[in-house]
Structure 1
Amino acid sequence: MRHGDLAERQFVETIYVTETIWIDAIPTETSPSSSIDAGQPTTQIEVAAMAVPSGSIIPDEEESAVSTSSSAAIGVQTNTAIYGLSQATNPIDTFVSSSSDIISDSTTTDAPISSASASAVQPQGITISAGLNVTLGGSGSGSSNTSTGNPIKINSEKKVFAHFMIGIVYAYTLESWLEDIALAKSKGIDGFALNIGLDSYSQPQLDLAYKAAEQSGDFVCFISFDFNWYTVDNVTGVSDMMKRYNDLPAQFKVDGKPFVSSFIGDGFDWAAVSQGCGQEIYAVPFWAPTQENADNKGLSGLFSWTAWASKDNGPIDAPLTTIQDEAYINVVTKANKAYMAPVSTWFFTHFGKEVPYSKNWLFKSENLWKERWDQILELGDKLNFLELVTWNDYGESHNLRNWGGLHSDDGCSKWAEGLDHLPMLDLSIPYIKAWKSGAKTPIVERDQVFYWYRPHLKSAECDASDNYGSKPDGWDIVSDSIFVTTMTKLGGTLKVTSGSNQPVMKLVEPGVQSIEVPMGAGKQVFEFSTLSGGYQKGEATVDVSDQCWKPLTGNSVSTV
């Protein structure tokens, strides 16, 4: 059935709508509607048709019928082992429509749909009387580029790296490295930035990392020296470590120069390191964005660690902007050098009296992963390299790799163990492809839904049993919300039931859309119908609680 035929369809049923539809952050209960006019949508797939641009094709009725039986659902659910995340992070899951290719790829545009209770909605000139309050896209920002089916032209000079903490993997084997590299490669990551301090096992683990990268093929490494441990006068130590790996096949090079980076270390003499190595190096350290630093003859560029919104390294109630990126871009452009930008998911740390380095705060980053990737595409060719922060820093909750394997535990298992972050890597794939190809919007090749949330309401009080004794700084600026991001070729409908709250239903536009739904204690249920013919209904395996979060290690931990 083509879109233009929708107005001619006749429906005789009487439908009563009693759902609550969340519009502009205000729950509004709709009143029951009387008999529906001709053209009234009676199934989710038909409601979703309002989001289809003129000229798009909808499957025939027999092909697009939505089953309400889980056993007959068209879509398949992946990543079924959903776990709750920590105070600053949230349970995640992904819906993947197995029939996302039923409709041929097409370029789409926004459908001008307004919302009105039991009033006429007029998308693309077709009047549909709907007894629902419906909005397109939700409260977050969206993008609407979809795959065209044409070959994607990738700029091979653009690279995406993941920051890997060597300091916690003293027991890694070659097999451990091969597994991590295989996972990273499958998600569009080109290499690891290997963060090292002065641990005795740094060199043996670097040896294994470079060997595994070489065996894996098409994967590179470079060292990121951590100047929390290295000192600015340790030129010999840095030079000697680099010389061991500079000529290995897996060493990342630019114009034949071994690439190297750092965490802090402003003022370090990288030109002297180049002399010590006996060859030119390509140094892109995390230094402040000053013109003096950019003009430093020992540097080839600058890296930023501003991956979260903060002030004086403390939380602020504001989103991350690109102001700091632009500061870096401005100075490196004048010096004709490179800029490597950071991308991160969340930040939460909660080390208490059990360790000598107690720290207890979060940065507001609830929807940061999606928003930051949108910023990356907007900055586009101004960025030479990206570094995902981080692959495995569990203590600060921005790990993309799940907890597990042969690494140490400094106490962060209380909020990291058993918590699934891997779907966030899937969310990044369309953005990585778009950035490398020069596109300004993500390249959507299949229909998916991602959702994440804290496993508890922030009103829970747990100070008496908490390892730190108080909630983290910044707990009051986060919201009790379910965060959902949809990726679709043609759009669709999303229904979220959070605990005892009334269900929330949204029409979503094609592309990547971000939606925020009020959180309720209890089970979390998600239902998704796409105009590609896919349907999936699933229940998260982690309920939202109004009590203290009980970590999988069995210890009590504070809540946000």
Structure 2
Amino acid sequence: MRPSVILQLALVACTNALPVRRRLTGFNKSFIRSHPRFIPRDISPSLLESLSAFTVPSSSMPAATASASSATSSATFTTVPPTSSISLSALSFQPTTSSIHVAAADTSVSVASTSTLPPASAPSAPPSPSNRTQKFVIAHHIVGNTFPYTLDNWASDIALAHANGVDGFALNVGSDSWQPGQVANAYQAASQSGTNFKLFLSFDMSALPCAGPNDAATLRSYITTYAKHPNQLIYKGRVFASTFSGESCTFGQSSSVAGWSSQFTQHPDLSGQNAVWFVPAFFVDPNTFGTFNNVMDGVLNWNSGWPVQLTTNTANSVLASVGASLSSIVSSITNTVSNTLSQFVNGTTSDTQFIDGLNKMPSNGEKRSYMAAVSPWFFTHYSPQTFNKNFIYYTDSHLYPTRWESLMDTRDQIDLVEIATWNDYGESHYIGPIEGAQPNSQAWTDGMDHTGWLDMTKYYAEAFKAGAYPPVTKDKLYMWSRPHSRDANAPDPVGKPSNFQLTEDTVWVVAMTTAPATVTLATSDSNTQTFNVPAGANKLSVPISAGGFMHGTIQRGGQMVVDLKPEDFTFEGSPGTYNYNAFVAFAGANS
């Protein structure tokens, strides 16, 4: 094993596991109320600058060879609705019995990077006894983006999610009068699906009022309406429920703790069969979880889906330690930049802090639940006249599959995983098809299909739930990239998003192979690179420049197995508007 060279690096202590001071956006509330398709999502943290560190362990890595048309270099593998208001009280169901010291980046020139999970044929130990509790993979579904949905739309979403390893939807509910009707449609579609697909309410407290007792009564009505529904997620004998935010809600009481306790979790309405297992996404310091003892049965760590602590300023501070910066253009330094920033994607510090916070809470007779987040992307581009949200989170370095790998490494301590999201088009982290009612995000969402990530989800979701990576049974190729260069200029009055400098002009690739194969990637006629990969899920990347395209193939035994070249993608040098969303393409053998 080659020892790692350890660097002391400055980071930001306010990760998603530390107190988050929520930055109020400048959206106009009356504008939002008159546009029911808009969902106010305010999750950009104001970061506190101080020091933190984590250690990335070194590992032995079997060598592989990558070749290019212009050079040969060494690469490494790392093994590892209705429009009318609907009364909730009018709906009822019958009971049912089913119920970061960062390891210094290697400065050797590498024209591309590649890594792979353990080969599919590698033996895996059975889950330990602590792992035998059922694990769930849930997708966050924003009801506020479903205004035109019919029952068939819900049925299609449920069938598609279920076929790709998703166990249920967290129904993000806001304040629009039509949303209860769509929630009812979702439950009806689930009951008619012929599956055990689960649903639960996730109250969006950035949209729902929570100043008085009547506001809490609305939440309780949702719970009691669906508590006995056969597709409601029942967890540890109780009705599972969650939130987005809500840590400041008082419901007319003296504090948020008193409000949530007396008006929700401990309210007489929510007893017996209506008792809740409450796992909110409260944006508070994990060290204060104990104050929510009679409120929280667990926690959803929403911001764990992205390395939110990594900003342009943070990155440049870190990179200065290795003589680099985000504007580096020398190839060897560019490789250092990429390898250094990728360490942020691998981190699980936030997960550990949240889990520790739960473990320090007084015992309530049950192990409290930790729900981690996983997300493929984040870009939002709203002007000051609308939501005033124009920023990205770092999502390069194969964020989605890499986060899944981290969840596998720590699955003993993770009870549920929530995918952010199924359909949040405004923040570009959807894995479902683009349908329903977009929140004025068409400029950066239309034509930017993400269902390749949904198809990829099945492999990782099955691995997380089983405790072992499944064999790859069909060769597949997934490729994604932004539609234009990082430094491109556009006549866009909204301007470039904050932290755009973190991005790379790269095509990110995952090749899932049933047996050893040769993968060839090209982004221009003069940039073609070939990799010999083992069986399993192989993470590759290749640079791209203006005018470039995506083209990838998998070959075995001289035969073409997969050939993927999306004709509707060109990497632009002079875009009309700024778009840091991802274009995702995928293909399987014989497809």
- TM-score, structure 2 as length reference: 0.67
- 1:486-525, aligned counterparts within 5 Å? 486-520=511-545, 521-525=547-551
Post-superposition shift, 1:491? 2.4
Aligned pair partner of 1:297 in 273, 283, 294: 294
Structure 1 residues 531, 290: CA separation in 2 closer, same or farther (over 3 Å shift)?
farther
SS of 1:182's equivalent in the other structure is helix
Post-superposition shift, 1:413? 0.6
Post-superposition shift, 1:139? 2.2
Structure 1 residues 291, 531: CA separation in 2 closer, same or farther (over 3 Å shift)?
farther
Does residue 144 (structure 1) correspond to residue 118 (structure 2)? The answer is: yes
Does residue 363 (structure 1) correspond to residue 388 (structure 2)? The answer is: no
Aligned to 1:191: 168
Structure 1 residues 134, 264: CA separation in 2 closer, same or farther (over 3 Å shift)?
same
- 1:150-549, aligned counterparts within 5 Å? 157-216=134-193, 217-230=195-208, 231=210, 233=212, 234-266=215-247, 267=256, 269-272=259-262, 273-274=264-265, 275=267, 276-279=269-272, 280-287=275-282, 288-294=284-290, 296-306=293-303, 307-311=305-309, 317=315, 318=341, 319-320=344-345, 321-335=347-361, 336-353=367-384, 355-366=385-396, 367-404=398-435, 407-439=436-468, 441=469, 443-462=471-490, 464=491, 466-468=492-494, 470-520=495-545, 521-530=547-556, 535-549=561-575
Residue 159 of structure 2 aligns to which amino acid in structure 1? A
SS of 1:487's equivalent in the other structure is strand
Gaps of 5+ in 1: 1-109, 119-130, 551-555
Q: Deviations over 1:358-402 (max 9, x none)?
A: 211111102210110111111112100010000000000001112
Q: Would you say the 8 A contact 1:147–1:445 is kept in 2?
A: no
Structure 1 residues 504, 337: CA separation in 2 closer, same or farther (over 3 Å shift)?
same
C-alpha separation between the residues in 1 aligned to 2:432 and 2:66?
Answer: 43
Post-superposition shift, 1:492? 1.6
Q: Deviations over 1:62-111 (max 9, x none)?
A: xxxxxxxxxxxxxxxxxxxxxxxxxxxxxxxxxxxxxxxxxxxxxxxx99
Structure 1 residues 114, 282: CA separation in 2 closer, same or farther (over 3 Å shift)?
closer
RMSD over aligned Cα atoms: 3.0
**Aligned residues with identical type, % of pairs:** 28
Post-superposition shift, 1:115? 5.2
C-alpha separation between the residues in 2 aligned to 1:378 and 1:364?
Answer: 21
Aligned to 2:3: none
Q: Would you say the 8 A contact 1:160–1:191 is kept in 2?
A: yes
Residue 144 of structure 1 aligns to which amino acid in structure 2? P
Structure 1 residues 264, 312: CA separation in 2 closer, same or farther (over 3 Å shift)?
farther
Structure 1 residues 114, 150: CA separation in 2 closer, same or farther (over 3 Å shift)?
closer
Deviates more, 1:483-492 or 1:374-383: 483-492
Structure of higher CA gyration radius? 1
Instruction: Identify the structure with bigger relative contact order (alpha carbons < 8 Å, sequence gap 6+).
Output: 1
Aligned to 1:42: none
C-alpha separation between the residues in 2 aligned to 1:348 and 1:117?
Answer: 33
- 1:84-99, aligned counterparts within 5 Å? none
- TM-score, structure 1 as length reference: 0.70
C-alpha separation between the residues in 1 aligned to 2:571 and 2:428?
Answer: 20
Post-superposition shift, 1:474? 1.3
Q: Would you say the 8 A contact 2:401–2:460 is kept in 1?
A: no
C-alpha separation between the residues in 2 aligned to 1:198 and 1:136?
Answer: 51
Residue 241 of structure 2 aligns to which amino acid in structure 1? V
Post-superposition shift, 1:148? 7.2
Q: Would you say the 8 A contact 2:479–2:550 is kept in 1?
A: no
- 1:3-152, aligned counterparts within 5 Å? 112-113=62-63, 133=73, 135-137=75-77, 139-147=113-121
Post-superposition shift, 1:482? 1.0
C-alpha separation between the residues in 1 aligned to 2:527 and 2:534?
Answer: 23
Structure 1 residues 111, 312: CA separation in 2 closer, same or farther (over 3 Å shift)?
closer
Aligned to 1:75: none
C-alpha separation between the residues in 1 aligned to 2:172 and 2:452?
Answer: 24
Post-superposition shift, 1:241? 2.1
Q: Deviations over 1:250-302 (max 9, x none)?
A: 11111221000001112354433232323321000012352442561222111
Q: Would you say the 8 A contact 2:520–2:528 is kept in 1?
A: yes
C-alpha separation between the residues in 2 aligned to 1:117 and 1:236?
Answer: 64
Gaps of 5+ in 2: 1-59, 78-111, 248-255, 316-340, 362-366, 582-591
SS of 1:222's equivalent in the other structure is strand
Q: Deviations over 1:19-70 (max 9, x none)?
A: xxxxxxxxxxxxxxxxxxxxxxxxxxxxxxxxxxxxxxxxxxxxxxxxxxxx
C-alpha separation between the residues in 1 aligned to 2:204 and 2:142?
Answer: 10
SS of 2:154's equivalent in the other structure is helix
Post-superposition shift, 1:246? 1.2
Q: Would you say the 8 A contact 1:525–1:539 is kept in 2?
A: yes
Q: Would you say the 8 A contact 1:192–1:220 is kept in 2?
A: yes
Aligned to 2:328: none
Q: Deviations over 1:483-502 (max 9, x none)?
A: 11112233221111112433
Structure 1 residues 205, 373: CA separation in 2 closer, same or farther (over 3 Å shift)?
same
Residue 485 of structure 2 aligns to which amino acid in structure 1? L
Post-superposition shift, 1:324? 0.6
SS of 2:113's equivalent in the other structure is coil
